[in-house]
Structure 1
């Protein structure tokens, strides 16, 4: 185990021990945590079938954590049915403790998800980011699901911290670092890995409607290109910048039907 991985594991254990002491984490979560630890040990074994079993177990656990199916996690509600602009649907937000475990697992078990990237000039990444924002938010506006609604509500800072650390970082670790990066390692085909990861990212937004599947797929292509240009941090930057632009500049989360 790398020193950085050991430090990360110690911090994770301390943080969740505090959460347990304050009632945000129940004993019901222990089996899930143990299963994640077991998946990590298997994924780092030298025997191929044990590695495959570890990754398969992680994928099942990641899906369960993302959908909040694993018991024992009590996320604090910090935004409750707020309406940020005229015609917007009410928005609520919890600080969830389950979904971030996906990112912690990937950092500890699969450090290669960080990616190296092509180290292209900052101008190239800026162009990628500008294109993502124009295509995705412009597309959402044309589809009639958002409208121009500039704002900076009092909840912006807690929303931004949650979206950066618990949403954008976790999702980019999973979809770009693990899925796209893993497919590149497996298939040795960068374009196919990019397309497949972007499609899976789009399907993950199916619950919000076909419009968000389309827009998320396009966003995933942009994030994937950013990942190839500058590694995980570039992908996280693009993801967060798009989400923040949506939040402060347009109807959030959506216009009422």
Structure 2
């Protein structure tokens, strides 16, 4: 009886994540913005109802709302700076899953996708995606209203170049090996990676950090290149927990994502990021060799 009920129970547990993912999908079309906000609300209500959120999660939500008010163009400069500092602190807490009140459900238990890989697990995170939603919905600096053709023109060559360079370098460094596969839960991994993981990471490092630095240095000839480099370096540093080689690979990939962002906006950076991850996931050791 319990085994018969388990798929239905799993589907219910996935409801907050599914609402978040659908909200992310609709986020890019202005006419669907209200529907996206409604889905965000549904994700929150379902999260509280299922125990994936508790009352402490309201602290992070309230701080994000406060930061959104503080960074408004009508505020004094000191208030805007304080708002950005507050957002960065909350974003890091959410991104590293240390903000209280979030109980992200485990979707993929620790497993070795291939025999020679380290164990991989995946949670349906409700905290980290909030960073991406805040940036797209609240901070006007993110390049988001770009035509679909711009996304593809920028993402396709950037994805090809980043994939060849990063995966080739990863093989040379002994991080991965040829291992084609498609697990039964591959679609869940792909949707989560495309709609939520890349949204949070690219919105923060490209849409927020790179774009902000680029605007700050817009009078400098080297401004755009320096902004891409600094954002890529920061992206590499947050991957240091995986070792120096992993941080180096993330930094190189970040430079490619930055070029895609510069030419095609946030969506192009997300597509480039997902394209590399997808090729890595399906054709090489994932995450890395043990």
Q: Name the TM-score class by shorter chain.
A: over 0.9
Structure 1 residue 203 corresponds to structure 2 residue 237: yes
Residue matched to 1:53:
82
Q: For residues 114 and 4 of structure 1, do their structure 2 counterparts lie closer, same or farther at Cα, with a shift above 3 Å needed?
A: farther
Q: Please point out which of 87, 93, 107 is paired with 1:78.
A: 107
- Please say if residues 128 and 226 of structure 1, whose CA atoms lie closer than 8 Å, have aligned partners that are also in contact: yes
Structure 1 residue 17 corresponds to structure 2 residue 41: no
Q: Which runs of 5+ in 2 are unaligned?
A: 1-29
Q: Please point out which of 193, 203, 207 is paired with 1:163.
A: 193
Residue matched to 1:217:
251
Measure the CA separation in 2 of the matches of 1:128 and 1:255: 26
Q: Deviations over 1:199-220 (max 9, x none)?
A: 1111111111100111111101
TM superposition shift of 1:4: 6.9
- Please say if residues 9 and 108 of structure 1, whose CA atoms lie closer than 8 Å, have aligned partners that are also in contact: no
- RMSD over aligned Cα atoms: 2.1
Residue matched to 2:139:
110
SS of 1:254's equivalent?
Answer: coil
TM-score when scaled to structure 2? Answer: 0.82
Measure the CA separation in 2 of the matches of 1:252 and 1:92: 11
Residue matched to 2:20:
none
Measure the CA separation in 1 of the matches of 2:78 and 2:277: 39
TM superposition shift of 1:123: 5.7
Structure 1 residue 192 corresponds to structure 2 residue 226: yes
- Please say if residues 155 and 271 of structure 2, whose CA atoms lie closer than 8 Å, have aligned partners that are also in contact: no
TM superposition shift of 1:86: 2.2
- Please say if residues 203 and 213 of structure 1, whose CA atoms lie closer than 8 Å, have aligned partners that are also in contact: yes
Residue matched to 1:30:
58
SS of 1:114's equivalent?
Answer: coil
Residue matched to 1:43:
71
TM superposition shift of 1:14: 3.0
Residue matched to 1:250:
284
Residue matched to 2:5:
none
Residue matched to 1:241:
275
Q: For residues 123 and 236 of structure 1, do their structure 2 counterparts lie closer, same or farther at Cα, with a shift above 3 Å needed?
A: closer
Residue matched to 1:94:
123
Measure the CA separation in 2 of the matches of 1:160 and 1:74: 22
Q: For residues 88 and 72 of structure 1, do their structure 2 counterparts lie closer, same or farther at Cα, with a shift above 3 Å needed?
A: same
Q: Which runs of 5+ in 1 are unaligned?
A: none
- Please say if residues 91 and 131 of structure 2, whose CA atoms lie closer than 8 Å, have aligned partners that are also in contact: yes
Q: How many residues align?
A: 255
SS of 1:172's equivalent?
Answer: helix
Measure the CA separation in 2 of the matches of 1:50 and 1:17: 31
- Please say if residues 65 and 98 of structure 1, whose CA atoms lie closer than 8 Å, have aligned partners that are also in contact: yes
TM superposition shift of 1:124: 5.9
Structure 1 residue 139 corresponds to structure 2 residue 165: no
Measure the CA separation in 1 of the matches of 2:263 and 2:242: 29
